[in-house]
Structure 1
Amino acid sequence: MSVRIAVAAPFKHMRKERLQRSEFVFYIAIDRKWMNKEQANQLLERAKSEGLVEMEGGAIRPLFDVAEVSIPLGFKPTSDILVTENPSEDLIGRIAAATGRPAQEIVAELHRVVADHFDGNLRVEAAAVILARKYGVAFEDKLPALERSVVKKR
């Protein structure tokens, strides 16, 4: 959620529907001093990969309603928002925790599901969901991230 807040902040503060890349980076890196220029560009790339912004001809446009985002007083994003999540690994970790087995065993079982039941024609993300259902582990909150992961790999 903090990625959404960090991306919304420049648009809300400048009261613009579109920003130039340089305006966005200036706001994040120079004006607010939240991060350096390189990190501001990484934030922008992450927002693009998560479908939060659209870039066309050097202009950035948010793909969500900026007005609905509330920016907390004193908000300052940490560098953790630059780390992209791996929903498959998160789900494997959940399954391992729920079953009390090491993650390596879950990964091996996942690969067996792909190889034995689907002749290698199944993505890891889908196999992780199958295993989560098998063991009764919640996965619904990870579905949007899993879908984005699959779309990215196409």
Structure 2
Amino acid sequence: MSLQVTVAAPFKQMHKGEMERSQFVFFLALDRKWMNVDQANAVLRLAEEAGMVKVGEGIVSPLFDVSAVAIPLGFRPGPEVFDAPDPCHDLVERIAAAVEREPGEVVAEMNQVIDEEFDGKLRAGAAAVLLARRYGVEWNDLLPEIRKGVTGKK
């Protein structure tokens, strides 16, 4: 979530639907002093890989509704902004919210599925999808990223 807030901030603050790459980097690195220029470019790259923005011909365009993102007062991105998104973790959080349990309990149930139903021969992402299906939790939007984690293919 922090990456999305970080990416939304320049668009919301500058009231723009798209901006030049240099403006985006300038906002993060020099205007807000949240990071250095290399880190700002890394944020842009991560956002593009995550499908949050489109970068073409020097123009950055958000691929999500920027107006729907709330930027907390005094927001400053932490080091977690550079972490790659973990679709398995996101799915565990969704399942936990749907069944009103702690994420740790959902992980324990995933481990039980892996050990008891698949003799330890199932990856965590696949186990999370199985639990999501059992509980009727939406997971299709995470499928491409989960598939990468399960198969190791991009």
Matched, 1:145 2:142: yes
Deviation at residue 53 of structure 1 after TM alignment = 0.6
CA distance in 2, matches of 1:139, 1:147: 19
CA distance in 1, matches of 2:119, 2:46: 31
Code of the aligned partner of 2:21 = R
- The number of aligned residues is 138
Unaligned runs of 5+ in 1: 115-123
Equivalent residue, structure 1, for 2:5: 5
Larger Rg: 1
Check whether the contact 1:129–1:139 (CA below 8 A) recurs between aligned residues.
Answer: no
TM-score by length of 1: 0.67
Check whether the contact 1:2–1:81 (CA below 8 A) recurs between aligned residues.
Answer: yes
Q: CA RMSD in A?
A: 3.5
| Percent identical residues | 38
Code of the aligned partner of 1:12 = K
Equivalent residue, structure 2, for 1:98: 109
TM-score by length of 2: 0.67
CA distance in 1, matches of 2:16, 2:41: 19
The C-alpha deviation readout for 1:68-114, integer Å capped at 9, x for no partner, is 222111011101121113334786x866523776xx968x8453x59
CA distance in 2, matches of 1:26, 1:40: 8
Q: 1:89 to 1:69 in 2, by over 3 A?
A: closer
Matched, 1:82 2:79: no
